[in-house]
Amino acid sequence: MAEEPATFRMSSDKDKLPPRPELFDFHGVSMTHYFTDNWENIQNFQARPDDILIATYPKAGTTWVSYILDLLYFGRTERQTSIPIFERVPFLEIFVPNMPSGKDLADKLPTSPRLIKTHFPVQFVPKSFWEQNCRVIYVGRNAKDNMVSYFHFDRMNMVQPAPGDWSDYIHRCMEGNMAFGSWYDHVNDWWKKKQTYPKIHYMLFEDMVEDTRREIDKLCSFLGLSHSDEDKKRVTTGVHFDNMKKDDMANYSTIEVMDFKISPFMRKGKVGDWKNHFTVAQSEKFDEDYKKKMTDLTLQFRTEI
């Protein structure tokens, strides 16, 4: 018998929503307590050999890739219409009062393989994922668009630190004073891990926007999945941004800590929206800082396609 999906609705009394957290230094990475309070249990998480870990910096395409993998492995079933994506693909490290913890949801997953997501920098990933030789899908997104998306996410998500104004936010981004730390460290350190751990498939958000079907083909090849062209076409259509944005089981509209009156969880899903936010001076300053920090020329991001 199918398990009843866990509810992520808290009290209807908005006063009982958890307070916005403060950032603090955690083992050299800027974090909030909602992602560290369950640290010991997370580090002792028991991965299985067929687990698939989806790793990203926040707002880099996590839900998109989660939905693609869910459809590739389990197809369009009742799960897709009755259980939200954040229960089908649990967020491992999240630990918010009055909500099921990500670890508990992951432990209770009835599926095989288990699809699990994390925003952890590579050094925080529980060692059992490496010991069990698990496959990892990493998704990177160009820094400017990633920052814009993260800014709007922080505005509407009550368990994220208050973003402040945009100009201050850009400075924080460049300093790495964000939940889950520096974008630069995150994308670079995962890229380095790929060089020594062959079971990492490193995807780029811009490539997915440019040709979703091509990137699904690459995913299938990495995972050893043999789907028909018709199946892949159905997945490609199913994960189109406009379709996902309207899908209550994919768009996070059932989580009360997110205020959709401020901004939707899925906003635009485009490449180049940064041009609507950065001034010329801000863009030039950001580019100058970017060149100093992105010294590995084998990792290239596109800011337009």
Q: Which residues are catalytic?
A: 119
Q: How far apart are the first and last CA of the chain?
A: 47
Beta bridge partners of 116: 53
Q: How many CB atoms are located within 10 Å of the residue 16 CB?
A: 11
Distance between CA atoms of 200 and 216, rounded to whole angstroms? 15
Distance between CA atoms of 123 and 11, rounded to whole angstroms? 36
Total length of the chain: 305
Query: What is residue 17's DSSP assignment?
Result: S
> Of the candidates 283, 270, 138, 273, which has an alpha carbon nearest to the alpha carbon of residue 199?
138
Longest C-alpha distance within the chain, in Å? 59
CA dihedral 101, 15, 180, 207 (to 10 degrees): 90
Residues with Cβ < 8 Å from 103, sequence gap 6 or more?
38, 41, 42, 45, 90, 92, 93, 95
Helices 143-156, 166-175: axis angle to 10 degrees equals: 120
